[in-house]
Structures are given as structure tokens and as C-alpha cells.
Structure 1
Amino acid sequence: MEIISKTTLTSEDIQQLYKLYQDIGWFGHTLENIGVIYNASTHIFVAVHQQKIVGCARALSDGVFNAAIYDVIVHPHYQRQGIGKKLLHQLCDIFRSVSCIHLISTIGHTDFYESCGFKLLKTGMGIYQKESLAEAYLYH
């Protein structure tokens, strides 16, 4: 298993990432969306096993005050092997001089992020455009 920093993605990388999103059940991400979100990201790490992307994490950062981590995902067959933690630690290491690193967890995964040193925000807020996501993630 190798953790690799990516500055650009090949079409094969995007295909593999799309398949990974499908494999974890995130069906709302199209192949085109995957290309857009990763090409807009400032930092990308992938976990590669036998030339196959089995995990990934991406982030956006201004390099000084804020960094936002998105889409820390690992293929179901490779979960619970420390891959997600390694990906997250790679990003956090890059951002050690940034004032605030934040992320939004999916339902049921806050314990994982807490085990990596993240804490719940006192002032976090958000707007979800899709009603189903607003119902799932926002206090009412």
C-alpha cells in the first residue's frame, strides 16, 4: 500500500476515483463531477494498492488560515486497515501551520475523526441546497 500526493489527475485516475465513489455507495457523483472537484482541490492524496486507487482524500486551503478536508474514502475491502487515518494524517501534516483545519463528517463517522484528533465545532454552520442533505446534516 502506498500513499501518493497528486497534483494532477489522469483520466485513468478519475475513472478509478469514480469507481471508488460508486463502490462506497456515493452514487450522486458523476464521472464529470469527480473530475471537476478533484481538479479544483488544492491537495489530493490517494492510497494505491497494485496500481489501483483504493482510498483518497482531498482538501482546499488558502495556506494560511483555513483548510477544508473533503471525501476521505476507502474501498470497503480495504477499510479498517488504517488507510483513512494515513490519508488524513498526510493532509493534516501539510496543514500544520494553518490556523484551522475543518471537515464535515458523514453520518456515523464522527468517532473516526475524533480518533484522529478532530473535535466538534461550537460555531460550525452550513447551508445544504438539497432538502434530503439538510434533513440529514443540519439541526432544525
Structure 2
Amino acid sequence: MRYQGEKHLPASELEDLYNSVGWGAYTSDLEALVSGVGNSRYVVTARDDNGTLLGLTRIVGDSHTIAYLQDILVRPTTQRQGIGRELMNRVFQPFIHCRQHVLITDG
């Protein structure tokens, strides 16, 4: 497993990953998704040895007082292997100094 910071991901990779977890509302406007991920404060991805995108998480916020974990996705075929936990730990590292770390989820 390879974890890395990368903000500029191909639309096709984002579309495939977001659709794999059923987040079609994001992929219905693919241009907005690509821009949103690209404009995030920090993005961490998880890739297998073949380079396939297995997971992604991203932070939005002011980088000084608050860091919001906007998305955390792990391809269903690779869930429950600790990938999500590792993504979350890594994405918050550059924001350890922020007073608030926030994760909001919906149904």
C-alpha cells in the first residue's frame, strides 16, 4: 500500500472511486468534484502496488484554527483493512497545530 499527498487526480479516477462507494451526487458534476479536490488544503490517497486508487481523504479549512475532514472514501473491496484509519491519521498530520479537527458525516 502506498499513501501519498496528491491533489491533482484524473477525473476518471475520482469518478470511479466516488461511484464505487455510491457517492453519485459528487460525480454528477465531475468538473466541480475535480476542482473541489484540487482546491482542498490537503489530500491523501491510498494506492495498491499497481497504482490503483483505493482510497482518498481530504481536508478543507483555514489551516490555522480549524481543519475539516471533508471526504474519506475507501473502495468497498478493500474496506476493513485499516486503510481509512491510516488515511485519517495521515491527512490530519499537517494540521496537528489546529485547535479544531472536525469530521461531519451524513446518512
TM-score (norm 1): 0.70
Contact 2:41-2:63 at 8 Å conserved across structures: no
Q: Secondary structure at the match of 2:70?
A: strand
Gaps of 5+ in 2: none
Instruction: Name the SS for the 1:25 alignment partner.
Output: coil
**RMSD of aligned Cα (Å):** 1.3
Q: Which has the higher strand share?
A: 2
Where do 4+ consecutive residues of structure 1 move more than 4 Å? none
* C-alpha separation in 2, matches of 1:78 and 1:101: 26
Structure 1 stretches lacking a partner, 5+ long: 108-140
Provide the residue aligned with 1:17 in structure 2: 14
Q: How many residues align?
A: 104
Whether 2:75 is the aligned partner of 1:75: answer: yes
Q: How many angstroms apart in 2 are the aligned matches of 1:63 and 1:71? A: 16
**Greater relative CO (CA pairs within 8 A, separation 6+):** 2
* Identical counterparts, % of pairs: 27
Which is worse superposed, 27-36 or 37-46? 27-36
C-alpha deviations, 1:27-62, integer Å up to 9, x for none? 111221221211220100000012111100001132
CA drift of 1:10 comes to: 4.2
Q: Indicate yes or no: 2:23 matched with 1:29.
A: no
